[in-house]
Amino acid sequence: MDIEELANSLHPLERAIVPLLKKSNDFNELVQKSELKEVNVLRALQWLEAKKALVIREEDKEVVSLGKNGKESLEKGLPERRILNILDKDLTLDDIEKQAGITKEEFNVGIGLLKKRNNIEINNKVVSLTASGKKLKKKETFEEIFIKKLPLDTSKLKEDDKLVLNDLRKRKELVSVDLRKQRTIELTDFGEELSKVKLEKDLIEEVTKEVILNKTWVKKKFRSYNLESFAPRIYPGKRHFVNQAADYIKKVWLEMGFKEMTGNYIQTSFWNFDSLFTAQDHPARELHDTFFIELLNGKLPKDERITNRVKAVHETGGNTGSLGWGYKWNPKEAMKLVMRTHTTCLSAKTLSELKDMPAKFFSVGKVFRNETVDWSHLFEFYQVEGIVVDPDANFKHLLGYLKQYYKKLGYEDVKVRPAYFPYVEMGLEVTVYDKVHKKWIELGGAGIFRPEVVQPLLGKDIPVLAWGQGLERSITNYYNIKNLKEIYENDLKQLRDMKVWM
């Protein structure tokens, strides 16, 4: 685009400013001469800067300006001047206060200054001018000269001005010293050329119904489009990136033929612990690991057969061939309500209601644990749960599902290692190589449910592949997040800039 075309593509605000740039390089002067709002002048200059026509220089400076009382004093006179003006003859203090049209505070300041500078004498509350006072009536004071020059840059004040300023600052709202941005404009060579171009004053900005019907376009020119001009970035509405990741993960499992399980955050200890063959004296049930709900209890399953089979497997091992835990099972302990510590409780409920096999289920839901928060731990987080109920399922199938899942999340390096969980045998932990932290991290547990879990819930013992994987840890690699706490900080910049999960 040549300079003529560019000139015709300028916004009306730019066209109002460009001719003034040859006459002034001061931002405040441009505001005054253009008669535009300050924000509009700044916007026009920023657009021109984006076009390489100029450079905006900004510098923080201390500026002295008139305060509320200073503006009034500039118009009507300082209190001491207004007192001098009415002293054509001797007057009492009361008469001066009434006639000067000033407040009690201003009166006291004015009288005090005139007395201090020997401009007046006071005898028995009667005020009369001295010789110096009579001379002062005919000339301006240093203060009057100073306030007429405001605003001023403090760095350019002379020593005499600094003394006057110190005195004026002691007076209420007369002057103020503020830190302001001083903007100056420097034209580039291109800007110099642009400022010499004769600008069209009356261009058509947009095609409207009226422009077409009135045939305005026949006699006028259209403003050109500059496709290379700066445009502000638009931030569209979008879901939180964790919700996007959760939706993507759900899609992964649905595409692999799984059905979704759902359930409440509050569960009985029966479903959260007992049904999963977790002993009632197991450390996981203690307050330092689990959030319990006080004063309320839940109910045991309506199907008493399930309750009785779970009770039997805890006490004696039931019909599973296990010895169980060897204690007397307490139904009151099982009825305690907890914030679910895992979504495996949903798997237990699903098994207890299952009729058709083979079957595959998953869930993506929040769980709650009494954890100390650090870079890799949260007390509230998402867990990705899954079970496969199939007489022909085996350990290799379990590894296949997990590796396929993590491959979909972008992890090529996936390892498993033996691990112990009360309700699975064999048990394993999944580890992946995290490129953000540059190390192997553990993402969750998995295994094959023990007969002590499956037989009481399903009524028979068949292979059930199961896993519970952390969601937040698994998405740090994709989002380049180093600390889990960053995920829920609700930093607006982070939320705007975070890439969409594809």
The CATH code of the domain that includes 72 is 1.10.10.10
| 317 part of a folded domain | no
Do 151 and 27 sit in the same domain of this protein? Answer: no
Do 351 and 399 belong to one domain? yes
DSSP string across 58-80: EEEEEEEEE-HHHHHHHHH--HH
Determine the Cα–Cα distance for residues 198 and 182; give it in Å rounded to an integer: 30
Cβ atoms of residues 15 and 199 within 8 Å: yes
Nearest CA among 334, 340, 278, 275 for reference residue 309: 275
Residue 268 lies in a domain: no
Residue 150 maps to a domain: yes
Q: Which residues pair with 416 in a beta bridge?
A: 430
Give dist(CA 470, CA 473) in Å, integer: 6
End of a domain among 173, 194, 228?
A: 173
Q: Is residue 109 part of a domain?
A: yes
Within this chain, do residues 252 and 145 fall inside the same structural domain, yes or no? no
Do 249 and 158 lie in one domain? The reply is no
Q: Which of 356, 278, 284, 350 is nearest to 310 (CA)?
A: 278
The answer to whether residue 376 is domain-embedded is: yes
Same domain flag for 33 and 120: no
Residue 281 to residue 338: CA distance in whole angstroms = 15
- Are 422 and 484 in a shared domain? yes
Please check whether residue 275 is in contact with residue 348, taking contact to mean a CB–CB distance below 8 angstroms.
Answer: yes
Q: Which segments within 188-283 are labelled E, that is strand?
A: 259-260, 266-268
Q: Give the Cα separation of 19 and 12 in Å (integer).
A: 12
SS3 52: coil
pLDDT tens across the length of the chain (502 residues): 577 777 778 888 888 888 888 888 888 888 888 889 989 999 989 988 988 889 999 888 888 888 888 898 888 889 889 999 899 898 888 888 888 888 898 889 889 999 999 999 999 989 899 899 889 888 999 989 999 988 888 888 889 889 988 988 988 888 898 888 888 889 898 888 888 887 777 777 777 888 788 887 787 788 777 676 667 788 888 889 999 999 999 999 999 999 999 999 999 999 999 999 999 998 877 765 788 898 889 999 999 999 999 999 999 999 998 999 999 999 999 999 999 999 999 999 999 999 888 999 999 999 998 776 666 567 888 999 999 999 999 999 999 999 999 999 989 889 999 999 889 999 999 999 888 878 888 899 999 999 999 999 999 999 999 999 999 888 888 888 888 888 888 888 888 888 887 6
How far apart (Å, rounded) are the C-alpha atoms in residues 61 and 57? 13
- Residues 242-273 have pLDDT tens digits of 999 999 999 999 999 999 999 999 999 999 99
The structural domain count of the chain equals 3
- Per-residue 3-state assignment (H helix, E strand, C coil) for 91-155: EEHHHHHHHHCCCHHHHHHHHHHHHHCCCEEEECCEEEECHHHHHHCCCCCHHHHHHHHCCEEHH
Kindly state the tokens that stand for 105. 């505070």
120: left (phi over 0), alpha (psi -120 to 50) or beta: beta
Q: What is the CATH number of the domain that holds 366?
A: 3.30.930.10
> Residues 190, 55: one domain?
yes
Q: Is residue 315 part of a domain?
A: no
Residues 84 and 55 in one domain: no
DSSP class of residue 489? S
| Sequence-separated (6 or more) residues with CB below 8 Å from residue 302 | none
120: domain range? 68-173
337 falls within a domain: no
Residues 358 and 419 in one domain: yes
How far is residue 154's CA from residue 147's CA, in Å, rounded to a whole number? 13
Q: What is the pLDDT of residues 421-433, one digit of tens each?
A: 889 999 999 999 8
Is the Cβ–Cβ distance between 64 and 165 less than 8 Å? yes
Strands (E), 67-212: 91-92, 120-123, 126-129, 152-153, 175-187
Same-domain pairing of 163 and 106? yes
- Are residues 204 and 250 part of one domain? no
Residue 319 resides in a domain? no
Rounded to a whole number of angstroms, the distance between the first and last alpha carbons of the chain is: 37
User: Is residue 358 located within the same domain as residue 468?
Assistant: yes
